[in-house]
Amino acid sequence: MDHNKELLWEQDFSEQKNATLDASVWSFDLGDGSHIGIPGWGNNEREFYTADSIAIDGALTISAQRQPANSPIQTYYGPAEFTSGKIHTANKVGFTYGLLEITAKMPQGKGTWPALWLLGSSLVRGTSWPQCGEIDIFEGTGAHPYQVQGTIHGDGYFGENGLTKLIEHSKALHEDFHTYGINWSEDRIEWLFDGALYNVIERNDERLSGKAWSFNEEFYLIINLAIGGWFAGEVDPMLEQAELQIKSIKYFSVNGVGTLT
């Protein structure tokens, strides 16, 4: 794979000091989801997303911060327990096939829920979820700090029924930076951890029998740090702060396959 890669796009945060997000690439998701009719972002999450939870200084850092009990920030469940950050490239940068690699250090603490993921760009044109398709490059929880997981969601296989695979790393993912990636082509997605293949799902997978394959079109990237919710479980009452750090994002064509929009 390596000798036929061509770098099409890159965000290298490691050289940036006290920088701000490039507004031509990134947008913020703010709040708790209530304003778009999905309080808790549809997952019973406890965080409230703010723009100032994100900073760039040698890495892009999303910081989740516990709020005082009398926080003036109001959410669907009352005063916000945590603030955090969520960014995406919808309507700005899109990807169709190719190799996408994100070098990141995961947060520490029970109740943290970091995610590096893609949604079908058809979502912003009116297709609903999960019909638009979702590719989770990585999704993890602080309750399972050694676990690497890659998943797809689509019509008839979403939520806890998404097609997924878990592997266990020998060290906790918050101890160091690792590279999480997908190598994606028509009718096939491969998941990589530090360059090693650990999961493959193809359109003819028997688990997809009779179900739509929603992954042969443009997707956009999302990076966020959620707190709590159904996937992450109970939040450690002693958790005060957690960080998801991104060193770089690189997008390549492989053997000529891969289109940046």
Query: pLDDT tens-digit profile of 183-204?
Result: 999 999 999 999 999 999 999 9
Tell me how many domains the chain contains.
1
Find the CATH number of the domain harbouring 206: 2.60.120.200
What is the tens place of the pLDDT at every residue in 72-122? 999 999 999 999 999 999 999 999 999 999 999 999 999 999 999 999 999
Residue span of the structural domain in which 126 resides: 2-260
End-to-end CA distance of the chain: 22
Catalytic (active-site) positions? 134, 139
For each of the chain's 261 residues, which pLDDT tens digit applies? 556 999 999 999 999 999 999 999 999 999 999 999 999 999 999 999 999 999 999 999 999 999 999 999 999 999 999 999 999 999 999 999 999 999 999 999 999 999 999 999 999 999 999 999 999 999 999 999 999 999 999 999 999 999 999 999 999 999 999 999 999 999 999 999 999 999 999 999 999 999 999 999 999 999 999 999 999 999 999 999 999 999 999 999 999 999 999
Query: What would the two tokens of residue 185 be?
Result: 């082509």
